[in-house]
Structure formats: structure tokens, C-alpha cells
Chains A and B, each alone.
Chain A
Amino acid sequence: MQLTLWTYEGPPHIGAMRVATAMRGLHYVLHAPQGDTYADLLFTMIERRDARPPVTYTTFQARDLGADTAAIFQSAVAEAHARFQPEAMIVGASCTAELIQDDPGGLARALDLPIPVIPLELPAYQKKENWGAAETLYRLVRALADPSATRTPRTDRRPLCNILGPTALGFRHRDDLVEVRGLLAALGIDVNVVAPLGASPADLGRLGAADLNVVLYPEIARPAALHLQKTFGQPMIETVPIGIQATRRFVAEVAAAAGVDPAPVLDGPGSRLPWYSRSVDSTYLTDKRVFIFGDATHALAAARVAAAELGFRVVGLGTYTREFAREVRAEAALHGIEATITDDYLDVEAAIQAAQPDLVLGTQMERHIAKRLGLPCAVISAPIHVQDFPARHAPQMGFEGANVLFDTWVHPLMMGLEEHLLGMFREDAEFHGAAAPSHLPRHGGAPPPVAHAEPAVPTGDIVLAWASEAEKELKKIPFFVRGKARANTERFARERALPLITVETLYDAKAHFGR
């Protein structure tokens, strides 16, 4: 049993829904109690989809448990088939139905429907949302990709590529797809099938016709791509094109696999990020301490971009995607830190407090932690929020994605000169203690008064006293770094067993911890 305040991922059947909802002509019959239908609102409210997900729930109740829940499931399958006329169906159970062991696959098979019906086994008490999406895509590809599909000789056609991974309710999947399609088009590569987003079961049948597979989100598409690699000998490109370097590497790898010249793209206009990052205005970004947490794809990419392309210092890196813990640990080691691999929100909160970052790049959960701690934050990963489906084009991938990363990560920070002035003139009425970045009016005012507003290292037995002069001096430090200054000073005093923190202690600590 695990105590959970917030969960980073839903149960695995939500992953299956993300795949089913992304596709056309597929219907999902889910054996589930009433209440599980809440999942519809993820798609219709958060993603603002204009149609209900193609999901029929059996919505059994307690009185049905003593009767025949299997019959309820069978009639739901039959009715869904008759009403929606899908090309193919997937069937499975949610957490509660898993316990009553009705065998949805066997029950559906017994109906002998004239379409492919693919059973899903998604163990709800072991696995989570992204695993469920990956397993569902894999099962669909395995069942529907026509093994007799053949590639025509390359001599009389352009290279063909499948794009695997974008789903419904994915973090910027919609916009990433546009960018990646653009890169492929510029390389002279045609897209065979995009899956699951927009694909029909018949489209999955044609997967074997492509020369290679591009895996945009390894959490979701790796098992399917491995299967295709084995079955059709299609190479898979798993480099996630987030950031300048990764995008260039992606272009080179795809071009090599497809046998085309990468130069038209690599020598093209590219992104503004490199120049923006080199321009003198950005020098204040140097060594900004950044804490990164998200799914593996986005956390790994963010760490590389933050360090190598924006000049930040990565002081925290973690993921809730345990399946990719090894990769994230390896990346963290490159930054000289230990990765935070957890799906416990409280652990992440503690790690952020300990790392004392200047900027948090995380999920909506970390946005809340950052708000409580008075830290700037940008959202880089699911779990998502209605705000993560902006009306404008806002990709993470490709050259335009790099532009978006520069803007969204730098924007929450205090601008360079402003930061200096705030530091110099604390007495100015407009630069009061709680002054927030002037270009962020809605963030004005003090952070909400919460117990943890100024995180302090546990004080142990030593009672740390602040001289009133030192307390006053502390107030001259901008609020967004004041918590850090207080904690550092107290730690400094504790380590030296100083009975009273004076102005001198404050500056001694500053010199000691100064970077």
C-alpha cells in the first residue's frame, strides 16, 4: 500500500484509452464499475476533444456482482459493435473488473464478431498509464500489422517512414508531430503511417511498408517499434529531437537510415535558440540552478538542453518513469548528481527543497511545489492540465520546439538587469521584499504564506537565533533567494555552533556558499 497525495500517472487502462482515443475506427470496451467513466473528462475537458472517447464502459454495480457481470460485458461488446461499427475493437478490464476475473478477451471472442477483437491484459495493481499505452500500441501493432506487407525497391520511390508514439492526452504530441513531419519532409522522406494519433486499424496494417520507424516517445512506442524491427527489419530511430543538439542528431540518424542527405536540414535556418543563448543578455542564465522532473523522455531532454544549450546548472534530475530509471541515473551522473526516481510527490518535494534551485522544470505537480516555495517554474511534461493544450502551436521537438523551450524556460526568471537592480536597491518602494519579475504581473505579490515558504534544514537541537540587524539585512535579499540565504546561513551557523547569527555570519555564509 502506498500513500499517494497526487499521482503522476493514471492506471494502465487510461494509457489504453489514450491510444484508442487517438485512433479512428477503433472501439474500446472496458469492463469497469460506474465511476470509472470519469476518464472521459480527461479527454473532453483537459484536451478539449470535441467527441467522447470511443469507449464503452460496462458500469456494473454491486447488485450485478451477485448476478452475471460476464453477461453485462458481452452485451456491452455486442451493442458497441452494432452501434459504432468499428474496424477493430480492444477489450479489457479496469482495476475492479480485474479482481472479479471475468476474462473479457474470452467473452468477446465467444461472440465471434466479424472484426479483429484484441484482448488487453493490463495489470492495474502493478503497472501504470504509460506502460498501458505502450502495451496497447504493441498489442494493436502485433495483431493488425500485415506480415505480408512488403517494401517496393527504393530505386523508384522516396524513402518511407512511420512515426510512432503520439497519443491523445500527450504533452504537446499534437505540435511535436507537426515539427517532426516538417523535418522529414525537408529531408525528402514520406510518412507512411503515424500511430496511434490519427491512424485507423487498416493504417496499422500498412506499417510494414515503411523503410524505418521514428520513435517519438520511447515510453509509449518502444515495444511496438521493437516488434516492427524484428518482424520487418525496419530500423528504429529513438533519438528524441528535443533541443538543438538532439534535433541535429535525429536528422543525421534518420537521414542515414533512409539513405538521404541531411545537409538541406542541418545547413538550413534552424532555430533562434543558439544565438539567443549566446547573446549577452543571456549571460545571467549562467549556472542558474535548475531542478528537473518529469517523464523520462522530457526529463532527459530537459537536462541536456538546460546544461548544454542554456548554460544552466542541473542540480536535480528525476523521473516517475521507473522503466527508464537506468537512463535517467546515467544522465544525472553526467551532471554530478543522483537521480530522483520516484512516483511519490512528497519525495520530489523534499528533493526540490534540498536542491534549492532557481528554476524548476517539472509537471503540474512540481508547479504547485514551486508555487509554495516561491520558485519560478515551467511545465515540461505530463501529467497535464488544460493549460498544457495551448491554442497556439507550441511544440517541444525540432527547431521550433527549441525556440519554445528557450522562451518558456527563461520567461519565469527575473530578467538580468532587473535582478541586479533588485539586489542593489532593496529600499526602493517598488522593489519591496515580495517584488516579482516586472513582466509577470499576475505573479505579483508575496508567495502564499505557508509553513514551508522558507525551507529550512531541520534545526535539530540547536536553537538558531538571529540578531535583529541580521534579520533586517536578510530582508534586503530578494524574496526568491531569501529562503536559500536563510537556510545556508543557518546551516553555516549550525556547523560552526555559532550561538547568534549576526550580519557578519550572513556574509561569511554568503562567501562560503557563493558560487
Chain B
Amino acid sequence: MNAHAPVPSPAAGCDIRHERGQRAVFCGLTGIVWLHRKIQDAFFLVVGSRTCAHLIQSAAGVMIFAEPRFATAIIDERDLAGLADANEELDRVVGRLIERRPDIRLLFLVGSCPSEVIKLDLGRAAERLSRNLHPGVRVLSYSGSGIETTFTQGEDACLAALVPEMPQARDAAPRLLVVGALADVVEDQFARIFADLGLADIRFLPARRAGEMPALGPGTRYLLAQPFLADTARALEARGATRIPAPFPLGIEGTTAWLRAAAEAFDVPADRFARVTAPGRARAETALEPHRARLAGKRVFFFPDSQLELPLSRFLSREMGTALVEVGTPYLHRQHHAPDLALLPAGTRVVEGQSLDAQMDRCRAARPDLTVCGLGLANPLEAEGFATKWSIELLFTPIQGYDQAGDLAELFARPLKRRARLEV
């Protein structure tokens, strides 16, 4: 996981530091909260402990769905003592699940810290179950464990597990693959723009249904829509796809650069690109304007959370005029982040990793105007007088693309607006 690409940082201008210590981050299981909605006939079965089950239901905003497409097979002492055969137990649990949810076409067995530590081989279990449940249900596995994945890396591991499932394209025709879970509405907007640009074969990973995963071929060029997909990218390249480097599609500048990278890769004439993107850029400009007054000049501090921190801070500093006090990120993939890093103001302090108490001390000393942080820290910081934006909302809200640029700015402006509004 997350071996850094051996590419030197192109952003000589950023002050990149590393920190180790206590981390306040979710584990990769959290990704299930959005992935189970994205792939409509997939079910996520965590093989783990009561803690895993408790985490997901707590992270899911505490029980927002009456019948979720995720569950936990809770390992108990009988499994650990070897009194019960873990594989037989798993087969029994999966059987009960499939009986209850005959609509499931794709089942992910999701590894957890305990299942990794006791070395339960979920890959083999998935193969066995796939054979047994063939052809109705395909069973795959990946790890969302906290010892191996941080928050959004769970999506990375899930998508990487899907890559071998993608059919082989019969020809070498050029095709574009957009990689990373996006809100359906954002995906539809991007599909329309790519179509207007004249790109014929545009597909998204993950597809909305298990049986519709896009084909891969030597002509596949892929564009990352999310900045945390290191393993998925590696798996795609192993199958011959090539990455189109681009900043991430946040804000007008990011969206334009992201679309342009694809357009140039597919030889779309510049004037056509300008014509197709002009209305979106204009709308986004209108939508951003009202938030600039509130955000310009404000000092922002990012705690590490989703790996979206770099493109977000690039958007805030270049389009909204904010100053960056510190940009924390759990991991920094030098290669995938290179285009965004290059756009950050010189001297920006980027901190990879975390030592929570030390970082809180720095935050308190810097007294930022807005602190972007996880749910565990937000209210305590508010109580100390800091305006905060809780970062998980940035994963659960459509923020990519032109028509969401205003919503993205508003997410950051709202805490400031609210503080200005309240008289109590």
C-alpha cells in the first residue's frame, strides 16, 4: 500500500514535511458508506470485529439507511479459538445474506484489522464463494483495514479489486476511462461534456452496476477523478492503460485543466474545447463570486483526512484567495499530485502523516480563520473558538466539476457565514 512513486517532487516550491505519531483518521472501511450507494447491486460484507460494525454505522451518520447494502460478519471467540472453521462460518454467513438479498450481483468480502492479523485469506474465500454462487453472484475481496488503509484508500483498494474484472477490449481503439467514484449527477455532467468534445467512448470506474464494468484495452487512457487511487492506477497500468496526468477536477481551474488534459490526449481542437467548456466556466464563475468576499484573505488549516487536501487547498488559494497555513494529508502520492502541487503557492507547508497533539498545538498557535478537520476534532476546536469545516462532508457532497464549484466554495464559506450570523 502506498509505496511512494519514486519520482522527485516537482513542487520544489512547497515545504513538504513528514510526521509520525498518533493519527486521527478513519480506516478504509469508511469508503463503504459511499461505495455501497455507487454500485447499485453490490454488497459489502466486512469480515471483522464489533468495532468494525460500530465504526461503519457511526461513520454512516448513525443509521441513515433502513436496509443498507453493507454488513459485518463479526468474528467471535469461537472463530479465534479454532472451534469454528472460519471459512465454513463465512460460507454460512454469506449464504444467509444472499438468501435475504437475492438482488445482490457483486459481493465484496472486506478485510479488516482483525482478519488481517489472524491472516484469514479472504482472496481464497472469495474465489471459493464465487465458484459456489456462480453465475448469480460474483465475489471479490479487498482490505479496508486500518493497519493498511487510511479512509479513502478503502475506495482505492475496492476499485483495484475491480480492475481484474474489467473485460478485455478486442481492439486497440482509443478510449477514455474516468476513475474514481463520483456522484451520479457529476458523472452525467462530465459524460455530456466529453460527448460534446467529440469523445466517443467514455466510461467510468466504478460502473453503477456490477455487470457493466468498462472494458480495458491497449488504447485505454485513464483520467483520475480522485486523488487517492494509487493501487487502482497501478492495476490499470499493469493491464496496459496509460494515465493522463492532470490536476483534480475541483474548482474552475482544476476542472478545466482536467478536461483539457483529456481533450489534448484525444486531439480535440483547442477552439472546440474552448467553445464546449465556455458555458460551464461562465456559470461556475458566477457561482463562485458571492463566496469570494467571505473567503478571500482567510487563513485555512487542513488536518489530514481524505487526500483531497492538496487539490482543495489549490482551489481555495488560487480561486478563492485564501491563505494556506498548513495543508495536512495522510499520504502524498508525488506523481498523482504533481500537477496540483505545482500550482500551490511557493512555500506552502504540506505535512504528510500526522502527530495529532503536535498538530493541534500548531493549529492553536496559528489561530487559522478556518480549520478543515475530521468529525472527532471539529466540535472541540469550535469550542475553543475555531471555525471548522468537517472534512467528511467533502466526500459525501458532489463537489467536482463546473456546476459544483459554487457548492464547494459554499461548503467552506458556510461555517464563516454562520459564525457571522449567530448572535448567541
A residues whose Cβ falls under 8 Å from a Cβ of B = 1-7, 9-11, 13-14, 33-42, 44-46, 48-52, 56-62, 64-65, 76, 79, 83, 94-96, 99-100, 123-126, 128, 346, 364-365, 368-369, 371-372, 385-386, 448, 450
A6 and B75 CA atoms in complex are apart in Å by 15
Which one of A40, A83, A368 lies within 8 Å of B24 (CB-CB)? A40
B147 contact from A38, A60, A369, Cβ within 8 A: A60
Convert B402-422 into 0s and 1s, putting 1 for each residue whose CB lies closer than 8 angstroms to a CB of A.
Answer: 000000000000000000000
> Chain B residues near A10 (CB, 8 Å)?
50-51, 54
Roughly how many angstroms separate A411 CA and B359 CA in the complex, as a whole number?
Answer: 48
Contacts of A52 in B (CB 8 A): 376-377, 380
- Contact indicator B379/A48 (Cβ below 8 Å): yes
In contact, A7 and B54 (Cβ under 8 angstroms): yes
Judged by a CB distance under 8 angstroms, whether B249 is at the interface is: no
B373-393 to A contact mask, C-beta < 8 Å, 1/0: 011111110110000000000
CA of A3 to CA of B101 in the docked complex: distance in angstroms?
A: 13
List B residues 31-82 near A (Cβ within 8 Å). Answer: 47, 49-51, 53-55, 57-59, 62-63, 66-68, 71-77, 79-80
Question: Do the beta carbons of A1 and B147 come within 8 Å of each other?
Answer: no
B89 interface residue, CB < 8 Å from A? yes
Closest B residue, CB atoms, query A53: B376
Q: Which residue of B lies closest to A58 (CB)?
A: B22
- Contact indicator A1/B376 (Cβ below 8 Å): no
The listed residue (A38, A56, A96, A124) touching B59 by CB distance below 8 A is: A38
Taking a contact as CB atoms under 8 Å apart, the answer to whether A100 and B117 are in contact is yes
Contact: A34 with B25, CB < 8 Å? yes
Q: Per a CB cutoff under 8 Å, which of A2, A41, A83, A126 touches B58?
A: A41
**Chain B: CB-nearest residue to A372:** B66
**In the assembled complex, which residues on chain B have CB atoms less than 8 Å from the CB atom of A50?**
379-380, 382-383
Give Cα distance in the complex from A76 to B375, angstroms: 22
| Complex: chain A residue closest to B116, CB-CB | A62
Q: A6: shortest Cβ distance to chain B, in Å? A: 6
Interface check B239, CB cutoff 8 A: no
Q: Is there an interface contact between B114 and A365, defined as CB atoms closer than 8 Å?
A: no
* Top 3 closest pairs, chain A to chain B, by CB: A35-B27, A35-B146, A40-B376
**Bound complex: CA of A2 vs CA of B54, how far in Å?**
14
Chain A residues within an 8 Å CB radius of B47: 1
Give me 16 other A-B pairs in contact (C-beta within 8 A), A3-B72, A38-B26, A45-B378 excluded.
Answer: A3-B74, A7-B57, A7-B74, A33-B145, A35-B27, A35-B113, A35-B145, A41-B59, A41-B376, A44-B376, A50-B380, A62-B145, A65-B147, A96-B147, A125-B75, A385-B62
Chain A residue numbers with a CB within 8 Å of B375 are 40-41, 44-45
Smallest Cβ-Cβ distance to A6: which chain B residue: B57
**Bound Cα distance A59, B150 (Å):** 11
Q: Say yes or no: is B97 at the interface (Cβ < 8 Å to chain A).
A: yes
- CB pair A368–B66 under 8 Å, yes or no, is yes
Complex: A79 Cα to B21 Cα, angstroms: 11
The interface residues of chain B lying within 8 Å CB-to-CB of A51 are 380, 383
- Do A37 and B25 touch across chains, with their CB atoms under 8 A apart? yes
Contacts of A76 in B (CB 8 A): 22
Contact B57 A3 (CB under 8 A): no
Contact A5:B49 (CB < 8 A) given known A56-B22, A450-B66: no
A365 B63 Cβ-Cβ under 8 A: yes
Residues on the A chain within 8 Å of B377, using CB: 40, 44, 52
Contact partners of A33 in chain B: CB under 8 A: 27, 113, 145-147
A124 touches B66 (CB 8 A): no
The listed residue with most A CB atoms (<10 A of its CB), out of B27, B72, B113, is B113
Residues of A within 8 A of B289 (CB): none
| Cβ 8 A contact of B148, one of A7, A62, A94 | A62
Q: Which chain B positions have C-beta within 8 A of A9?
A: 50
B1 proximal to A (CB < 8 A)? yes
20 interchain pairs (CB within 8 A)? Answer: A1-B84, A3-B73, A6-B63, A36-B51, A37-B26, A38-B27, A38-B58, A38-B376, A44-B377, A52-B376, A52-B380, A65-B147, A83-B357, A96-B146, A99-B118, A124-B51, A364-B62, A369-B66, A372-B67, A450-B67
Most buried by B among A50, A96, A368, A372: A96
- The reply to whether the CB of B298 lies closer than 8 angstroms to some CB of chain A is no
Interface centre among A1, A57, A79, A96, by most chain B C-beta atoms within 10 angstroms, is A1
Shortest distance between the CB of B125 and any CB in chain A (Å): 12
B20 to A: closest C-beta gap in Å? 10
Q: Give bound CA distance, A96 to B145, whole Å.
A: 10
Taking CB atoms, residues of chain A closer than 8 Å to B59 are 38, 41
Asked if A59 and B23 make an inter-chain contact with CB atoms under 8 angstroms apart, the answer reads yes
CB <8 Å contact, A95 and B146:
no
Flag if B376 contacts A99 (CB, 8 Å).
Answer: no
Is the CB of B259 closer than 8 A to any CB of chain A?
A: no
Q: State whether the Cβ of B92 lies closer than 8 Å to any Cβ in chain A.
A: yes
Cα A49 to Cα B380 in complex, Å, equals 7
B378 touching A99, Cβ below 8 Å: no
Q: Is the CB of A371 within 8 A of B66?
A: yes
Contacts of B54 in A (CB 8 A): 7, 10-11, 14
Closest to B143 in A: A62
B90 within 8 Å of A (CB atoms)? yes
Identify which of B50, B116, B357 contacts A7 (C-beta below 8 A): B50
- State how many angstroms separate the Cβ of A98 from the closest Cβ of chain B: 9
- CB A303 to nearest CB in B, in angstroms, measures 24
CB-CB nearest in chain A for B87:
A1
Q: Which residue of B lies closest to A60 (CB)?
A: B147
Q: Is the CB of B93 within 8 A of A1?
A: yes
Within 8 A of A (CB), among B77-121: 77, 79-80, 84, 86, 89-90, 92-93, 96-97, 100, 113-114, 116-118
Which residues of chain A are within 8 angstroms of B66 by Cβ–Cβ distance?
Answer: 368-369, 371-372, 448, 450
A1-B75 contact in complex given A34-B147, A94-B51, A99-B118, C-beta closer than 8 Å: yes
Q: How far is the CA of A339 from the CA of B412 in the complex (A)?
A: 50
Quick check: is B29 within 8 A (CB to CB) of the other chain? Answer: yes
A57's partner among B22, B73, B92 (CB-CB below 8 A) is B22
- Report how far A50 CA is from B384 CA in the complex, Å: 8
Considering the complex, give the chain A residue whose CB is closest to the CB of B55.
A38
* Distance between B409 CB and nearest chain A CB, rounded to angstroms: 24
Question: Roughly how many angstroms separate A4 CA and B44 CA in the complex, as a whole number?
Answer: 12
Rounded to whole angstroms, the CA-CA distance of A126 and B25 in the bound complex is: 26
Tell me whether B27 and A41 are in contact (CB under 8 A).
Answer: no
B103 → chain A closest CB, angstroms: 10
Inter-chain contacts of A450 with B (CB < 8 A): 66-67
Q: Which partner residue on chain A sits nearest B154 by CB separation?
A: A35
- Of B49, B62, B71, which contacts A3 at CB under 8 A? B71
Known: A37-B376, A44-B375, A76-B22. A126 touches B76 (CB 8 A): yes
Interface hub of A35, A64, A124, A128 (most chain B Cβ within 10 A): A35
Give the residue among B86, B96, B97, B379 with the most A Cβ atoms within 10 A: B379
Residues on A with beta carbons closer than 8 Å to the beta carbon of B49: 11, 95-96, 124-125
- Cβ-defined contact, B58 with A42, below 8 A: yes
Residues on A with C-beta less than 8 A from B90 are: 1
**CB neighbors of A among B1-36 (8 A):** 1, 22-30
Q: Which residues of B contact A96 (CB under 8 A)?
A: 49, 51, 113-114, 117, 146-147
A35 with B29: in contact, given A1-B89, A42-B58 (CB under 8 Å)?
yes
- Complex Cα spacing A4 to B100, Å: 13
A27 to chain B, nearest CB (A): 12
Whether A35 contacts B118 by the Cβ 8 Å rule is no
A409–B150 Cα distance when bound, in Å, is 43
B1 near A368: Cβ-Cβ < 8 Å: no
Q: A38: which B residues are within 8 A, CB to CB? A: 26-27, 30, 55, 58-59, 376
Instruction: Please give, as numbers and ranges, the residues of chain B lying within 8 Å of A48 by CB-CB distance.
Output: 379
